[in-house]
Amino acid sequence: MNAGSLYKKLLLSFFLFLFLSSIYAVIAIYGDSQSNNDIHKQIVEAIIKYQPDITFHLGDLTAQGKKQEEYDEFFSCCKPLTDLCPLYPVKGNHDASSELFLKNFPFLSQTYYTVEYDSLLFIILDSTLELSPHSEQLNWLIETFNSNPLQPKIILMHHPIFSSGYHSGNEDWALYLPALFASHKVIAVFSGHDHNYEHLQWKNLNFFISGGAGGSLRPSLSQHPYSKIFCSSYNYLILNHQKNYLICTAYSLDGDIIDKVAIFLDF
């Protein structure tokens, strides 16, 4: 190797070191594995290559959520991941029994909760429960916002507010939740339910749908006006938290990049 090639290699290694050392945390997000254990296992194997520090599942961990065997299969599929880092679940509509859901995640006292990690506040909502104005859960959410006014926040909920997918979004929630989120330093909203990947943007707030970990893939019904990209494929998200921003990268099962979004935390 000549001196010029050696210099270029050392320079590349130096910049790679600077990049990696600037990453505060690696966060994995995926959802809707349901009962497709083969795809779920492949998603897990793909995710662990990025060595996440924390993982969130966006709901529909199971096909029906009524038997312990379903959760046993879920944990068997994601064991390589849970051996590596904590996994926090969002309750989906297929995870029918709240009692069984909580039994399998004994560190939870209820199905909506918060996780603070690496200066970010993750707020996990239960969209199978009431979220209307003055509901118990929405009152809890507003109290959580008011108790953490300066902290960047990430919302995770199973049902999407906006969607081009098979189930569409929720027109009632769209009337008040995005504005509420935007006024309380929410930087991104992640959902599942629709079995695809989609990135939507309302004003400066990014919405992501990642329901591609096993549930039957479906095409879009019609393009939502806020949609930036839609992809009907199995998928997962890797978030790299750096000093002032998040890099959100959506990958297909074969490792191709579907989408990449930079979200600034200072606003």
In a domain, 119, yes or no: yes
In a domain, 182, yes or no: yes
Range of the domain at 80: 22-264
**Per-residue model confidence (pLDDT) at position 35:** 94
Count of domains for the chain: 1
Distance of CA 260 to the CA centre of its chain: 14
- Assign residue 97 the CATH number of its domain: 3.60.21.10
What are the tens digits of pLDDT across the range 155-192? 999 999 999 999 999 999 999 999 999 999 999 999 99
**Per-residue model confidence (pLDDT) at position 157:** 98
In a domain, 11, yes or no: no
In a domain, 237, yes or no: yes
For residues 28 and 6, give the distance between their C-alpha atoms in angstroms, rounded to a whole number: 35
In a domain, 181, yes or no: yes
Beta sheet of 153-156, edge-to-edge order: 113-117, 120-124, 153-156, 186-191, 205-210, 197-202, 227-231
In a domain, 80, yes or no: yes
Tell me the average pLDDT across 186-201: 98
Can you give the pTM of this predicted structure?
Answer: 0.91
In a domain, 2, yes or no: no
What are the tens digits of pLDDT across the range 205-251? 999 999 999 999 999 988 999 999 999 999 999 999 988 899 999 99
In a domain, 15, yes or no: no
Tell me the average pLDDT across 241-263: 95
